[in-house]
Amino acid sequence: MLFALLASATTAVSWRFTAALAKRAGAVSATLASSVVFLAQPTLAALAPAPWDATVQYEVLQKGTGTEAKVSDLVNIRFTGSYNGKTFDDTFKAEQPYTYRAGVGLLLPGLDNAVVHMRVGDKLHLEFDGDNAFKDGRPSAPGIPRIPPGGKLIYDVVLESLPGTDEDIILGDL
């Protein structure tokens, strides 16, 4: 039962995590857990970063010298997002950087695609709209502007680090 649940729930985002969780839970043998990884592992084509979209304009503000992020890597980023000169998102003010799995669709396409083309230490200025932005728009909130569907967004993003593997980050906190 657990094996079927784990195998059906795996995606490009969680295939390594699933095997590690299965091993740690002791619900299946290491061999069976390895099978979960094999069955759920995405194809190499699925892990290749999408090429730069011509509609995403970017400028390198600072060139990093660290490791290059790859699709499905856990990354720590900081970014500021603005629309019509008004900031709607700013992780530079947060105590911790924003940690997520790069290149698998967890952020706006214009931002997510940029991260998998960055090295640790890179700082980029991005401008994008249309399908790379909020396709359905974003409602206003106190102090945050309403963003119409496909509105032109400006982001400054820094790739701070690649924090480690799924087991280091996720399972260590269970």
What the chain holds in terms of domains, given with CATH numbers, is 2-41 (no CATH), 57-163 (3.10.50.40)
Structure tokens belonging to residue 12 = 């490009």
Cα–chain-centroid distance for residue 39? 23
What are the residues whose beta carbons fall under 8 Å from the beta carbon of 44, sequence distance 6 or more?
none
Q: What is the pLDDT of residues 58-98, one digit of tens each?
A: 999 999 999 999 999 999 999 999 999 999 999 999 999 99
Region 15-33: mean pLDDT is 41
CA distance 174 to 170: 7
Residues 117/48, Cβ–Cβ less than 8 Å: no
CA distance 66 to 121: 6
First to last CA, the chain: 21
